Amino acid sequence: MLDVPARRERVTHVEHVPARQAGKTRWPDWVDQRLVTRWANHGVSGLWPHQAEAAELAHRGQNVIISTGTASGKSLSYLVPALSATLDGGTILYLSPSKALAADQLRALRELDPPELRAATYDGDTSFEERTWVRRHANYVLTNPDMLHRGLLPRHTQWSAFWRRLRMVVVDECHGYRGVFGSHVAQILRRLRRICVRYGSRPTFLLSSATASEPGAFANRLTGLQMAEVTTDASPRGSTTFALWEPPLTDLRGEGGAPVRRPATAESADLLADLVASDVRTLAFVRSRRAAESVALTTRARLGDLVADGSAPADLPDKVAAYRAGYLAEDRRGLEKALRSGELLGLATTNALELGVDVSGLDAVLIAGWPGTRASLWQQAGRAGRDGQDALAVLIARDDPLDTYLVHHPEALFGRPVETIVLDPGNPYVLGPHLCAAAAEIPLTHDDLDVFGPTSKEVLADLVGDGLLRERAAGWFWTSRGRATDLADIRGSGAAPVQVVEMSTGRLLGTVDEPSAHSTVHAGAVYVHQGETFLVAELDLEAGVALVEAGAPDYTTFARDVTDISVIESLDSHPLGPGELHFGSVEVTSQVVAYLKRRAQSGELMGDEPLDLPPRTLRTRAVWWTLPTSAIIPLVEDGLDLGGAAHAAEHASIGLLPLFATCDRWDIGGVSTELHADTGLPTVFVYDGHEGGAGFAERGYARARDWLTATREAIASCECERGCPSCIQSPKCGNGNEPLDKAGALRLLAVLLSCDESRM
Ligand SMILES: [Zn+2]
Ligand SMILES: [Zn+2]
């Protein structure tokens, strides 16, 4: 694969991740012999040290989070204390982020078939009759936060027998509870704790998560409880050779004449073809359904060339296929089977294959683009490796500052994790609806305020002012006839999504979040749905509908917006170099004012069409930095374009924040200005793109020095001359990536980071 000399230069790093020997297994002596026998029948001879440690803590009533790698057997660490508790007459509440995972867990429990277990799922698919049975008889209930929020908690009286005996709450795969959704789940768990107190139980919380930095602190934010953490993984693992790969710059020119890198998908198709031709069973992970199809197609074409040369057997192209969500279940099962049997050698897939599907025993995994978190990276890489044989994994960088940084900083991937899972339970937009829901469950008293955190008093006063709650001597009451839980849309943005409808057929193609509708489905926009292209004829905001018709334009569209930000309040600040760093609340006003048409292949600008859309405002949290005029003057005298430098630094820093907080760059936004009305100085803002904030900007504030240092390094390590999508250009820039000054951004950040360490 590396025998083509030009390719060797594309490998920026090779890491040999050694095999890990399993720690010794044992059973804690409190585990019932009947359970030990059941597990032994399923080939489990005991717990590895990390499982035993978490199980032991939970058994003793200590709340704990276990945060270890994929396939490290986290489920056994909660099943052992949980099933022990059911033998003792206790009940268990198991929460998973998805119905599919809960169904998987139920299947595993039924196969194990432990004594006294009456396990059942309770979710949107559970029939009315089953629900009654579950409430009355089940001692192990598998559900999700949505159902807890809308079903179990509001109707807590019907579950009284279950609550009274509740011994343990398992929160599985809890790293998914981040950002605004995580903040909602945090409040739902607080409501759950309050219900338990009412019924006299005090369950132990056991959380399981992928690896992350500071899992205990995250678990504490999620539950409001002190949590122990278990992070040392003692499960066995095969060795992996991990290569980091950076596609070369091409002669193609993109926005502002910037060089464009060869797409990660094109590189993946080349590598996939080579590996398949060498009889290496390979999975290629790509980011979109369309990419899965195109990588499979390109790979087959490359192999077809080999067949035409006579250097490969005629059936080789047929050994490559695509796999993605949207295929029929039976087709997917067929593909999985063909890959296992070796009938297929190469599969290009979206992350639909990442979880819960039994495809292992592959030789190599290609990962086209950073999958967003280390958890996903290892989940995907972990698909390679047959019975202790050395496996190959390749991470191929996309044209993006974070990918650029990672392929040049292997320590960020192979060292200790730096990303934490962030959320902000104090967000008043999240807290308010849950206080109403809690008051509807059981009237709120002053004693309850501790559970909901320090901001609850203020938020309650607002809710009373708005007429949502009534305050009496005894506390706060929900007196409306409506359902309080309807106030919280825990997975959504608050507003109803915009429906995308095909005009000629009336077919509903999909939905778009209301906040992004202005920029993605405005009149004239090119809208892509499952590989098909449509043109938006009309966006009717009042009706919440975008009408589209099929079309095949040879251009793409890109919305331009005007964004203003005003500082409401700086909540915290400290000096940073000669400048200052702040964290606080802001109001962001943005308006989509026009859209650009660009030729699909060359990116050449074809036109700029005005749009008439109303402005949107967002009250949220931001981190911002300023530099004093004295620090700026020498730079400007030296020819630095201040606006372009600040704008470039803003883009790159947005691209790098996901390294420290599990978010993606679409969760955050930025504004940079040469002179900001509120600070009176050159200022760069990075804000949470969700009403009330989601914890991302706060994390940026807490890790500002590391974050901005990484930002500077990402810009510096890109070999382009004046800026490209791998460093300072942003795919979501509302200003058409203008102005940008790459050298200026490096100097600006150097000045900002130049203070002596003791001041931090
Ligand atoms: Zn660049
Ligand atoms: Zn921009």
pLDDT in the model for residue 750: 96
By the CB criterion, residues less than 5 angstroms from ion ligand 2 are 733, 735
Query: Whose atoms come closest to the Cα of 737: which ligand?
Result: 2
Ligand 2 center from residue 532 Cα (angstroms)? 29
pLDDT in the model for residue 331: 79
pLDDT digits (tens, 9 = 90+) for 93-136: 999 998 888 988 999 999 999 999 999 999 988 999 999 999 99
CB 732 within 8 Å of CB 665? yes
* % of the chain residues with pLDDT over 70: 95
pLDDT digits (tens, 9 = 90+) for 540-595: 998 999 999 998 888 888 889 999 999 999 999 999 999 999 999 999 999 999 99
Mean pLDDT, all residues of the chain: 90
pLDDT in the model for residue 252: 80
Query: Which pTM was predicted?
Result: 0.85
pLDDT digits (tens, 9 = 90+) for 495-516: 678 899 999 999 888 888 877 8
By the CB criterion, residues less than 5 angstroms from ion ligand 1 are 718, 720, 724, 726-727
pLDDT above 90 (res 741): yes
Among 65-79, 271-285, 359-373, the range of highest mean pLDDT? 271-285
pLDDT in the model for residue 350: 83
Ligand 1 center from residue 687 Cα (angstroms)? 24
pLDDT in the model for residue 758: 39
Mean pLDDT confidence for 660-680:
89
Ligand 1 center from residue 296 Cα (angstroms)? 29
Mind giving me the DSSP string for 212-275?
Answer: -SSHHHHHHHHHSS--EEE----S-B--EEEEEE-PPEEEEE-GGG-EEEPPHHHHHHHHHHHH
pLDDT in the model for residue 602: 66
Q: pLDDT-derived band of residue 759, with 50, 70 and 90 as boundaries?
A: very low
Query: Whose atoms come closest to the Cα of 714: which ligand?
Result: 1
Q: Per the structure block, which two tokens stand in for 513?
A: 């979040």
pLDDT digits (tens, 9 = 90+) for 369-389: 998 888 788 888 888 876 667
Query: Whose atoms come closest to the Cα of 730: which ligand?
Result: 2
d(CA 517, CA 498): 7
Ligand 1 center from residue 623 Cα (angstroms)? 25
Query: Whose atoms come closest to the Cα of 684: which ligand?
Result: 2
Mean pLDDT confidence for 659-682:
90
- If you search the block for the tokens 């500082």, which residue do you land on? 567
Q: pLDDT-derived band of residue 265, with 50, 70 and 90 as boundaries?
A: very high
pLDDT digits (tens, 9 = 90+) for 604-649: 778 889 999 999 999 999 999 999 999 999 999 999 999 999 999 9
Q: Which of 231-245, 463-477, 522-536 has the lowest mean pLDDT?
A: 522-536
Ligand 1 center from residue 294 Cα (angstroms)? 26
d(CA 198, CA 309): 76
Ligand 2 center from residue 240 Cα (angstroms)? 39
Ligand 1 center from residue 297 Cα (angstroms)? 29
Query: Whose atoms come closest to the Cα of 740: which ligand?
Result: 2
Mean pLDDT confidence for 221-241:
92
